[in-house]
């Protein structure tokens, strides 16, 4: 019997794989923690009168929803959202959302925005401590961009018993694929397991940024979904594994 290693805690992604009949081993290697000084965010945003807010991760969106948009505060600017998961969190709020379903990266989203909508405006980029800076880099010659860090990413040490189980299964050929969701999660995994742990396992990456991380260290990514969100990733991966006739439960 083969299993799929998911470098993330059990959530909708793993649930979909199990519904397809695959055995899943969950082993998160990072966690995100909201910053402690998030009070009065809505007041700060209101005072600076931003024309728009950029949200490029579901964690940043979740924090913005709880700390800003769910408060007694009406934001009149536009909210630019990357990713289906983030859009789903905000779609029922009274917000002027900009969302392009086909955009898999921040740059793809930015390139879809009419330049006149950006020029000489003031924006806020709400992000994580290690988030890529595609938004300010793209807008630096067009607009003013302030950045607000609302969460940090920390590495998680995998329990020794879990680590030994994964290493044994990988050595015995019982793990067919390892699924990664961010460069930081992949980096933490490799620090604890080593690159050799992936030599006989197919590598799946949620999107180009994570795939590029592996390419830089000469590890081949075997599967990347057409859409960079967890649900499509799971469905497409399950179909990929089925087509290649990997064993299920």
Whether the predicted pLDDT of 245 surpasses 80: no
Q: Is the pLDDT of residue 246 over 80?
A: no
Instruction: Please give the structure tokens belonging to residue 49.
Output: 């009168």
The fold of 3-29+157-243 is: Rossmann fold (3.40.50)
**Can 3-29+157-243 and 33-153 be said to share one CATH topology?**
yes
Q: Compute the distance between CA of residue 58 and CA of residue 61 in angstroms, rounded to an integer.
A: 5
Whether residue 80 has pLDDT greater than 90 = yes
Report phi then psi at 10, rounded to 5.
-65, 125
What is the structure's pLDDT at 187?
96
Q: Are the CB atoms for 207 and 228 separated by under 8 Å?
A: yes
152 pLDDT band, cuts 50/70/90, is very high
User: Is pLDDT at 69 greater than 60 in this prediction?
Assistant: yes
What pLDDT does residue 156 have? Answer: 95
Which residue has 């989203």 as its token pair?
A: 109
The reported pTM is 0.83
pLDDT of residue 247: 60
Average pLDDT score over the chain: 91
**Mean per-residue pLDDT, 154-165:** 95
CA-based max dimension of the chain? 60
Residue 71: pLDDT above 80?
no
Residue-wise pLDDT for 108-118, tens only, equals 999 999 999 99
Give the confidence band of 1 by pLDDT, cuts at 50, 70, 90.
Answer: low
* Mean pLDDT value of segment 23-27: 96
What are the b/e assignments for 23-56, b being 16+ CB within 10 Å? bbbbbbbbebebeeeeeebbeebeeeebbbbbbb
Residue 87's pLDDT is what?
94
Q: In this structure, which topology does domain 33-153 adopt according to CATH?
A: Rossmann fold (3.40.50)
- Cα separation values, 171 from 53, 158, 200, Å: 47, 18, 8
| CA 206 to each of CA 27, 87, 213, 218, 223: distance values in angstroms, whole numbers, following the listed order | 16, 18, 12, 18, 8
> What's the rounded mean pLDDT across residues 228-249?
86
Residue 54 pLDDT > 70: yes
Name the residue ranges covered by the structural domains of the chain: 3-29+157-243, 33-153
Q: DSSP character for 223?
A: B
Q: How confident is residue 248, by pLDDT bands cut at 50, 70 and 90?
A: low
pLDDT at 240 over 70: yes
Give the contacts of 190 (CB within 8 A, at least 6 positions apart): 198, 217
| Stretch among 15-29, 57-71, 86-100, 119-133 having the lowest mean pLDDT | 57-71
| Measured torsion, CA atoms of residues 65, 68, 74, 80, in degrees rounded to the nearest 10 | -60
Parallel, antiparallel, or unpaired for β 144-155 and 30-34? Answer: antiparallel
pLDDT at residue 45, as a whole number? 81
Alpha helices in 94-207 (DSSP H): 106-111, 115-118, 134-139, 160-171, 183-193
């Amino acid at each position: 019997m083969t299993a799929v290693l998911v470098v993330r805690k059990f959530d909708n992604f793993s649930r979909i794989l199990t519904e397809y009949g695959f055995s899943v081993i969950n082993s998160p290697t990072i966690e995100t923690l909201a910053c402690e000084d998030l009070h009065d965010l809505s007041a700060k945003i209101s005072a600076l009168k931003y024309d728009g807010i950029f949200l490029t991760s579901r964690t940043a969106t979740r924090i913005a929803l709880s700390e800003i948009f769910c408060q007694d505060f009406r934001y009149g600017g536009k909210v630019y959202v990357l990713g289906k998961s983030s859009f789903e969190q905000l779609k029922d709020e009274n917000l002027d959302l900009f969302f392009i379903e086909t955009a898999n990266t921040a740059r793809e989203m930015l390139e879809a925005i009419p330049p006149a909508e950006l020029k000489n405006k003031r924006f806020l980029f709400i992000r994580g401590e290690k988030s890529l800076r595609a938004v300010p880099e793209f807008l630096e010659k067009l607009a003013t961009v302030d950045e607000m860090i609302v969460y940090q990413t920390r590495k998680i040490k995998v329990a020794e018993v879990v680590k030994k189980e994964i290493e044994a299964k990988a050595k015995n050929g019982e793990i067919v694929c390892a699924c990664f969701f961010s460069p930081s999660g992949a980096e933490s995994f490799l620090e604890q397991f080593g690159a050799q742990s992936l030599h006989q396992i197919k590598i799946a990456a949620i999107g180009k940024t994570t795939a590029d991380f592996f390419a830089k260290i000469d590890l081949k990514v075997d599967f990347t979904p057409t859409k960079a969100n967890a649900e499509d990733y799971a469905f497409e991966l399950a179909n990929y594994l089925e087509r290649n006739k990997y064993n299920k439960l």
